[in-house]
Structure 1
Amino acid sequence: MRVVFACNSVVKNYHGYGKFINRCCNLEPNGQLLCTDQVEDAWITLLYVCITLVKVMVFLFGPLMIPSHMYDVSYMASQYVVKLQQELKMKLFVTESAQTSVRYKTRLTIQDISEWNKFQEVLGQFPMDEVIPIKIQELKIKVKGKRVIPENEPPTGLLRTLFDNLVRCKVKTLDPFNECCDRSVYAKFEPQFKHKCTWHMCAQTFIRVLMVFLIPIPFYMRIFLYYQFEEGAFKPTLFYHARNKIDYKEQNVDDESPLITRKPSVVKIKKIKKNITKIDKTVHKRLMSISENEEHIFPCTWGSGTIYNLRRFMVQILVGVFCVSCLYSFILLAVEATGIFVEIMAFTMMGIIVNAGSTLRYVSMALLVLVYMHDCYNNVYESYLTFNKAVIDDIMDRVEDLKTVASLPSSMQESIGFTVKPVEAVDRIPTAFMFDKTEPRWRIGHLLLFLDSFDTPRIPLRLFKKLCEVRVHGAPGPVYINLLRATGKFFIIVVFLFFVMIVVMAFGNVHQISSTNQTLATLAGGFVPMLLKNILPRKSVKLNLKTLSFKGQIDEVICEFKQNWPVCDLVIEKDEPEPKNDDEDQTSDIADEKIGSPELKRKKSCESILDAKPEDKEKEKEKEKPKENILEKYMKENAEWKNKDKDKKDGNGTDDSARNSIVDENFVDLFVDLSVAETSVPWQMHGSTESIASASMLPDSDFVTMESSFTDTMPQITVVNVNVLSQKEMMASCALDLHIYKDWCSLIDQHLGRKMRHHLTELLHNVTAVDQAIKPSYLLDFGIKASSFHHFVEDLKRTGCVKTILNIYQMGTDLLVINPRCIQVLQQCTNLESLYIPTDVSSGLAKPQTIKRKLLFEELLQSIKLLPFSLDNISMFDIDVTDMNLTTMFGILLGYPFTYWFERETEENCLSMIPLRCLKVTRTIHIQKENKTQLNSAESFNVFSFSVPEELFDSTAEDHLNRWFSQKKMIDSSLQLSTQTEILPKVAM
């Protein structure tokens, strides 16, 4: 029989004070009404006190609940020292001048080295504007805690794996998702969209938006519980409380007065803003009216330092207060959410205890599920823990100086990274200095072990993942595969437990079995999987690291392992040549003479070589010299021809080049620019749909022989060597006076007609580029008579609009203006295949193919040698194109690194619906106004525009493009390369 209670609050006298208590009444079976007073229980009171203490403790010690990796400096970026087994030699150039002309591999600004204290101290001891040979014996790197793992923390947690793969989108690195994540969401319509959007980018955006809503879920639940169950208890319902919320004060309202009146402070702020705007306009008007003599203008700097320091101090205080306020705001939310969940758990446990007969079998089943879940995933952890310890022990055995370093006390020991020597048959991976991203980094090979000052060994996470995938019996394999297997086993056990519970409950209800017996039956059936696991024999393969197969696999991984680490500081020393000991040399000579050792024979042979004729030496040197790159030779000759009068001394007898920092060897590894404070931004591809690393767009080691071991990186380009254009001249070549436009306009009107004025910009920029040897020729794609254009170019030379002698080729119906020195250099070339990569796009092919036939290059070279040219005057030639493949010939004459070739029987090709890598080189021209009060402007235009099939754009083609673009970059530093992939239904040649 169901008993119903009716409760109400009554006031009772408690030692002279009124006290509210609950009185509950119920109707007995005999019809008698029984009322009892509810007295507070001491245990319930203690429970509420404990819940309150939990809330207070969470509030006071809430910051300790934040994961340490979010604020711990040792986890964010620990400093490690790597001792190099072979010192690294480089060349350093330090300057404070903005006009220094030197070629460099890496440029560092003041902001880049602002945190490198030791490097700044050493720089203060070096002279300026000199090439300084330096050596590096140790590297200081920053190591984030998430990039290395200790011995007892393998990255196998389920939550960590889910967080890395889903939240951090590391799922892209897994094999099944590699191709999918890099594909565009636009599919076949990708060329019609300007911005690239991949599935990986969409997943990252979705996860970020989702995390904004998922993080506050505990507080959402607290709000729901409040409005669902607690709002009525705190809402005033008596008439007395409602009456206090009503204000009956009379207000005199004027109909003509505004409804909203602004406070005086707001009006004052408006006035101050208006006055500041007037002051700003007045100052700018005065600045515009200042005379051209700017020598008497000085900035007012008094007091700026004090104001700046005060402002900086106040900003720091405000930022600190804001951060602390935000922290404790989140803590208050966490306290409230934690308190409600503690209450829910406490009262749930009380309900389970009170109703043990009905709920105990469900609770036991839930506990079994938790036990099996821990067991399944703990097996994965144990296997990787054993593997990680074995791997770290093996690596520690390979390190030579580990015991010596570990024996030092922690106060004297610094965190050190150890490189492992590979097998003798494999060369060491050279250490390289990289600056292709936001911060400088060292590319270090074989760096496998990190030991902190407390002797805790760690290995790189990437190395751990590679070793897990070693194909050896017993190797654990990828982490996510084992977690998926453990999840599958866990679900099988859950299904088994579910059927056990259904069977027990079904037979319990049929045969009226007591709840206690049902609970015992549920536990007995639930322990069956555990009994089977422990009793039945398991076929598990244990990994033995001492086997020959595993040794070979781990040696292979170590030999190929390299990783980039951010630079923490540069510890450099001046590389001074070691003095030779003459006494030792004399004693060794005497000993050799007495013994008659083969060393004496070697010396005599060396002396005979030294006594050889100088003519023979010169011939041998010429044989040993590598062939000079044709385009580089053409570039240098053109620069020397333009600047043949620049190297002469001025009227005072001083060398004009002495004003620049001219060094004997004008290529350095590190260029420290102390004249600017801006960060050196990596070279980017403007307007492209893909990003190419800045290092891959720069010249390779063909230009200069490097003494350091930086063979993996490409040098960053800047100006110049002694024979190439200086920086000032190169800036002048990128500048254009406004009066030149007027001269070109008048000449176009005179020779080509006023209708050609809308082609003024295209003609001016492209002909100027040919004149300055930036491009060898320019193809006119609009109808102009050859004779008219010939007279037009002659007048350009007469008026000084062009400086060099240009030739004009009429090739069929096409007109080409060309620099004749280009033809002269090409005719002297004997190795065309090193300059151009032709692609066969004949219609009979299924897809384009790279041509490597020497016969084709011989035919092209023969056609080039038949081309006439004149270096004395501006001439026009009519070229016979009967036996020429115009598409290939135009590609060569226009200076493209990639050209197309196809059978001349038909004009069709196989480029239809083929992905093409379209590349464009743009140049920026600065327009100098005649009036100095006017602002100068800048214009960009295409200098080169060509394409190559995407499938053929491999590493060899990219290296070829790098060399070609770096040569162009040396002539004009304003050149920029952009690329995008397009698919066209039809391509016309």
Structure 2
Amino acid sequence: MYPRIVVQMLLGWFVALVSSNIAVGLNSTDQASSETMTINCTIRPVDASVRDKVVRLLETGVKMIEYDLKFEDYPDKVLNTKGVMHFRLSHWVRTMNSQARSLLMLNENYELLSLGAMRIGVEIMEVAMHDEPDGCIGALSVQDTTSLIRETLLYDFKAIDRTQPKPKKSLGNAEHVCNMYVRDDAGYASFVYNCCHYDPDGVLICKDIVREVWMNVLVMFTVFIKILIVLFSPLLIPEKVYLKKFTATEYHYYTKGQEKKTIKVVVTRFPESFDCANKVVKIDRIQSMEYFKTMLNTMKLDKIYEVELNDLRLSVIQRRLLRENCVPVGVFRYLYNNFCRCKIRFTDTLRPCCDQSICGNRNPGFTMVPWHKCLRTFMKLIQIVLLAMPWILRILIYTSFEHDSITQRREVAHTMGLKTPFEGSLTLHLTPFHRIFLICYIILAVDSLVYGALTKAFQEKFKMVIRDCFRDMKEKSKLGVCSWAMNLALVPFDSLGILGFLLVVPFWIILSPLFSVVFIFYFVPTINLTLRLLIQLFIFLCPDSFTLRCKIVKARSEPVNEKLRLNKLSQQENFRQKGDLSKTDLFLQFVVILGVIISFWSLTFLAMECISFFVEVGVYTLIGIIINADVTVRYISVIFLLVLYVRDCFGKVYEKYLNFYKVITSHILEHERDKITDTAQADATCQENTVFRVECENNSKPDIYLMVRDRIIKWQTSGFLVFWGQENTPYFSEKFFFEAVEMKYHGCPGPLYRNIFGTFLELFKLILFLSFFVIVVMAFGDVYNISSTNQMLATVAGGLMPVIFRHVFAGKGTDPTLNTDSVQFQAEFNATLRKFQQSWPVYDIVPIKYRELHSRYSMAVDPNKEEFVDVNGHPRDADNNNDVTEPMLTTSSTHNSLDENEIEVVVDVNDPPRDADNNNDVTEQMLMTSSTDNSSDKNESEVDLVVDVTNFSGRFRAKFVANGSAGSMSMLHEI
């Protein structure tokens, strides 16, 4: 009885001991192969020449070979279905040195991320295997199969007969055979490579390849980049989109000190009675023209007024201007202007086709669309696709290279009951088709469609809100915030003197939360922009009662604000107030701001993933170049020479145009020195953006020629305008620059396309020379075993020869000089000025005085007080000006009294405001009769401008009559 029990206990202890040893062997880094189950099964390659191929690869200096094993008479995934602990048993790696094993620590898509730089010295072999006896590999366990394959690879595909002593090892001491397996790391699946080799004593040693410190630093760096992108993403938007100096700016053209500048204005209800092609503008299209609309409010119907101008204000977009030391002659700028902005339609060859309707000569009965508008729409779509291209490329890379591997890993981790760890990329952790990403796609798509469907006026509101917030975020003084913090931090010393050292530390600790909030708001653009939008949203939504309470609280907390000096910060903040906006306007503002916030964070999320991915690509590429410097150094030298050639060739073109531009601008400024000097020497606080007009000799064209284009009043100038900024910075017209370069004078650079074509031809010749030289160096370098460093030096030395000959041995000053004092240049320059025309949007027209023709009565405008005075200087208001205002509403003059040669501006006040006491029917009948009787004179009445007010609403007309001229400044602003 007892011996039997003892035997059973010994057997149980032996079984437990064996089981524990097997478990320890699987989980330790030194994994011994099991030989009990594999004695009767061997594997060998089907192709006996596999070993010879491996030897040849080793002789070429490869550092790593990847084996993809396939067994005959078995499914392709037979090894992958044997178990989940050993991940992809069909994929094995043979490394020759520690440098190759370091690649196993990286992302398995290191070839793609490094743009192929890390793939240098890495080969892939597909090996067909056969098991003996047939079918034995399928009967083995996972551990036995792993041990069998490992031993076969360690002995270079030799068939191992386990009944005989093991042959001598064929791998070097530094060579390893590795495969990937799944390790439980605190509940998360960790995919690591296990590499094995035989030591000199024939003992099998296996170790896991774990990430080193520098790899963890790389992952942390990637996460840090994402955090920076989130916090500073608004800085990625170009300043030209929202800063004032890059948007429309107001410039003043003063007529003081010059000849009297007058225009003739007529107010009419019937613009069709005049020959006014391209002269009609509706009153609701006149934006922000306060002085001009105030003047219109006091004029009679169908009466000609002669208006003497004091100031003609222009609205100028900065991209139409050039600085004194900048010329737009870059290749990308040239392509953008001609194709994206569709300026190619102005060429003589394409102009007829671009202006032609898409329906040809047929009249379909609706508004015809010219081809150039279709091209502009198409190019806008192309630009949208190009903006989205980085993310589209990221999705394509994921679906083509990363999806299968990520899905397989996720399935293996799920089978083992483990979680997939986050490795720094939400795209890989969630996939680009996750709900979060889909929501971002939908938000951006809906915003784009809604924005495209909005009216132009609402689009301007949309842009205005965004620009204001971005502008405040960028332009608010960071130095002022630092000054405020410094002054507040030194308060203990100001109050207590040297005793302040006793309280300064507690004082700073108490104020640290305030400092943190203020610094985060002003120095973190993303938070700054988001909070500004939320504050603006709160201002528009909060009721007036709550606003009043906030003002009361602010007044009560004024002593605290003074002690903390918060007023210094609040003075530089200027949020848009709700004012008297209607409920519809408030709702629209709410939709705009909310849409901006959601779209901004959606774009930030996608930009974070996209930019971090390309940063990772850059890091991997740099690592690949460094670890394979012996191979990549020659290619780097070639790239360096190509960049040098491109910069040298196109830099020469840029320098040619810049030198010409400097000569032209100096000549223009010297021509207008007297006018500019007075403005430049004025007090900086009083100086304004000013326009100076440069005319050619014997100019017969009118100085002020108003026209209507794109439903906007514009000043079509004859001659050239110099724009003088408040900072005493001159700006010049970009259009004039491109016309001046084509002057037929020795020294002018000529058309840009001709120089760009010549530059590309010259660059092509240099590339041909460089290609020939590189081929020679590499060919003889391989024949005579010249090192990569010497090949690189030879390539650089030979490639620099064209540059040396051009800049050292060639004569300097070969470009023709420009003599601005010559008679030929003066003639060509005057001819260019004479034929040069350009239209500029009018921001406002400020009159000195105006009078009705054939009348002794006249009125003057005081711009400082925004009121009207008569010829004696006495103020005139609407109540005392019935002889001017009332006839406007009740009287219609006959068209026979109009002199067609005297009319320059016609203002149409169709359907004018009426008082309740006036007989509307009689007025309407009188006006219609007057128009009918004088229809014969329609062709004889040529006009320059017609302002149509057909779309006046009843509410607007009532306010127009009730307020009169005195209230016109605020009332007409609503148009």
* TM-score, L = length of structure 1: 0.51
CA positional deviation for 1:483: 1.7
Task: Tell me: CA distance 1:502–1:716, structure 2 relative to 1, closer, same or farther (3 Å).
Answer: farther
Q: Deviations over 1:175-214 (max 9, x none)?
A: 4433454467777x86899886765455334433433433
Alignment check: 8 A CA contact 1:101 1:727 kept: no
Query: What secondary structure sits across from 2:838 in the alignment?
Result: strand
- Alignment counterpart, residue 26 of structure 1, candidates 196, 213, 219: 196
CA positional deviation for 1:417: 0.5
Task: Tell me: CA distance 1:42–1:407, structure 2 relative to 1, closer, same or farther (3 Å).
Answer: farther
CA positional deviation for 1:135: 1.1
CA–CA distance in structure 2, aligned partners of residues 137 and 78 of structure 1: 19
CA positional deviation for 1:170: 0.9
Alignment check: 8 A CA contact 2:695 2:718 kept: no
CA–CA distance in structure 2, aligned partners of residues 115 and 658 of structure 1: 23
Question: 2:809 is aligned with what amino acid?
Answer: L
Q: Deviations over 1:952-985 (max 9, x none)?
A: xxxxxxxxxx948989xx9xxx9xxxxxxxxxxx
Alignment check: 8 A CA contact 2:275 2:941 kept: no
CA positional deviation for 1:544: 2.9
Q: Aligned residue for 2:594?
A: 321
Alignment check: 8 A CA contact 1:467 1:557 kept: yes
CA–CA distance in structure 1, aligned partners of residues 593 and 370 of structure 2: 39
Q: Deviations over 1:225-252 (max 9, x none)?
A: 223343333652147469999xxxxxxx
CA positional deviation for 1:450: 0.3
What is the correspondence of 1:258-657 to structure 2 with a 5 Å cutoff? 309-399=582-672, 400-423=674-697, 425-427=698-700, 429-538=702-811, 539-575=814-850
Q: Aligned residue for 2:901?
A: 705
Question: 1:545 is aligned with what amino acid?
Answer: T
CA positional deviation for 1:470: 0.6
Alignment check: 8 A CA contact 1:93 1:130 kept: yes
Segments of structure 1 that go 5 or more residues without pairing to the other structure are 246-304, 579-656, 669-702, 720-724, 735-768, 776-834, 836-961, 975-989
CA positional deviation for 1:18: 10
CA–CA distance in structure 2, aligned partners of residues 659 and 458 of structure 1: 45
CA–CA distance in structure 2, aligned partners of residues 493 and 570 of structure 1: 57
Q: Aligned residue for 2:251?
A: 80
Alignment check: 8 A CA contact 1:156 1:381 kept: yes
Pick which of 322-331 and 226-235 moved more: 226-235
Segments of structure 2 that go 5 or more residues without pairing to the other structure are 1-57, 59-63, 65-93, 96-176, 420-577, 854-886, 912-921, 951-975
* TM-score, L = length of structure 2: 0.51
Q: Aligned residue for 2:891?
A: 661
CA positional deviation for 1:458: 0.8
> Is 2:241 the counterpart of 1:67?
no
> Is 2:393 the counterpart of 1:221?
yes
CA–CA distance in structure 1, aligned partners of residues 902 and 934 of structure 2: 28
CA–CA distance in structure 2, aligned partners of residues 329 and 483 of structure 1: 40
Question: 1:416 is aligned with what amino acid?
Answer: T
Question: 1:24 is aligned with what amino acid?
Answer: N
Identity of aligned residues (%): 27
CA–CA distance in structure 2, aligned partners of residues 371 and 505 of structure 1: 21
> Is 2:382 the counterpart of 1:210?
yes
- Alignment counterpart, residue 411 of structure 2, candidates 237, 259, 270: 237
Q: Aligned residue for 1:115?
A: 288
Pick which of 236-245 and 540-549 moved more: 236-245
Alignment check: 8 A CA contact 1:141 1:565 kept: yes
Question: 2:849 is aligned with what amino acid?
Answer: K
Structure richer in helix, relative to its length: 2
- Alignment counterpart, residue 51 of structure 1, candidates 209, 222, 236: 222
CA–CA distance in structure 2, aligned partners of residues 225 and 18 of structure 1: 26
- CA RMSD of superposed structures (Å): 4.5
Task: Tell me: CA distance 1:193–1:529, structure 2 relative to 1, closer, same or farther (3 Å).
Answer: farther
Task: Tell me: CA distance 1:163–1:486, structure 2 relative to 1, closer, same or farther (3 Å).
Answer: same
CA positional deviation for 1:522: 1.5
Task: Tell me: CA distance 1:659–1:511, structure 2 relative to 1, closer, same or farther (3 Å).
Answer: closer
CA positional deviation for 1:499: 1.5
Question: 1:417 is aligned with what amino acid?
Answer: V
Alignment check: 8 A CA contact 1:395 1:448 kept: no
- Alignment counterpart, residue 925 of structure 2, candidates 728, 731, 734: 728
What is the correspondence of 1:570-969 to structure 2 with a 5 Å cutoff? 570-575=845-850, 660-663=890-893, 704-706=900-902, 710=904, 728=925, 963=939
Alignment check: 8 A CA contact 1:99 1:728 kept: no
CA–CA distance in structure 2, aligned partners of residues 517 and 194 of structure 1: 72
Question: 1:376 is aligned with what amino acid?
Answer: C
CA positional deviation for 1:355: 0.8
Question: 2:390 is aligned with what amino acid?
Answer: P
CA–CA distance in structure 1, aligned partners of residues 909 and 778 of structure 2: 79
CA–CA distance in structure 2, aligned partners of residues 457 and 60 of structure 1: 37
Q: Aligned residue for 2:866?
A: none
Task: Tell me: CA distance 1:89–1:306, structure 2 relative to 1, closer, same or farther (3 Å).
Answer: closer
What is the correspondence of 1:162-201 to structure 2 with a 5 Å cutoff? 162-182=335-355, 200-201=372-373
Question: 1:565 is aligned with what amino acid?
Answer: W
CA–CA distance in structure 1, aligned partners of residues 322 and 371 of structure 2: 30
Q: Aligned residue for 2:327?
A: 154
CA–CA distance in structure 1, aligned partners of residues 310 and 661 of structure 2: 31
Query: What secondary structure sits across from 2:259 in the alignment?
Result: strand
Task: Tell me: CA distance 1:110–1:351, structure 2 relative to 1, closer, same or farther (3 Å).
Answer: same
Task: Tell me: CA distance 1:181–1:575, structure 2 relative to 1, closer, same or farther (3 Å).
Answer: closer
Q: Deviations over 1:581-629 (max 9, x none)?
A: xxxxxxxxxxxxxxxxxxxxxxxxxxxxxxxxxxxxxxxxxxxxxxxxx
Query: What secondary structure sits across from 1:440 in the alignment?
Result: strand
Task: Tell me: CA distance 1:213–1:440, structure 2 relative to 1, closer, same or farther (3 Å).
Answer: same
- Alignment counterpart, residue 310 of structure 2, candidates 137, 156, 161: 137
Query: What secondary structure sits across from 1:401 in the alignment?
Result: helix
CA–CA distance in structure 2, aligned partners of residues 121 and 309 of structure 1: 24
Query: What secondary structure sits across from 1:137 in the alignment?
Result: strand
Q: Deviations over 1:87-113 (max 9, x none)?
A: 322344568xx7999979666654234
Task: Tell me: CA distance 1:491–1:328, structure 2 relative to 1, closer, same or farther (3 Å).
Answer: farther
CA–CA distance in structure 1, aligned partners of residues 322 and 316 of structure 2: 11
CA–CA distance in structure 1, aligned partners of residues 259 and 942 of structure 2: 31
Alignment check: 8 A CA contact 2:738 2:751 kept: yes
Task: Tell me: CA distance 1:243–1:667, structure 2 relative to 1, closer, same or farther (3 Å).
Answer: farther
Aligned length: 565
CA positional deviation for 1:349: 1.0
Alignment check: 8 A CA contact 1:139 1:570 kept: yes
CA–CA distance in structure 2, aligned partners of residues 34 and 242 of structure 1: 27
CA–CA distance in structure 2, aligned partners of residues 78 and 963 of structure 1: 39
Q: Deviations over 1:513-533 (max 9, x none)?
A: 222222222112211211121
CA–CA distance in structure 2, aligned partners of residues 25 and 659 of structure 1: 97
CA–CA distance in structure 1, aligned partners of residues 583 and 907 of structure 2: 44
Task: Tell me: CA distance 1:40–1:410, structure 2 relative to 1, closer, same or farther (3 Å).
Answer: farther
Q: Which has the higher contact order (CA 8 A, sep 6+)?
A: 2
Q: Deviations over 1:406-465 (max 9, x none)?
A: 112432110000012432x44354311212431111122234200110111111111111
CA positional deviation for 1:44: 2.5
Task: Tell me: CA distance 1:124–1:181, structure 2 relative to 1, closer, same or farther (3 Å).
Answer: closer
Query: What secondary structure sits across from 1:544 in the alignment?
Result: coil
Task: Tell me: CA distance 1:193–1:314, structure 2 relative to 1, closer, same or farther (3 Å).
Answer: closer
Alignment check: 8 A CA contact 2:182 2:191 kept: yes
CA–CA distance in structure 1, aligned partners of residues 833 and 355 of structure 2: 29
Q: Aligned residue for 2:574?
A: none
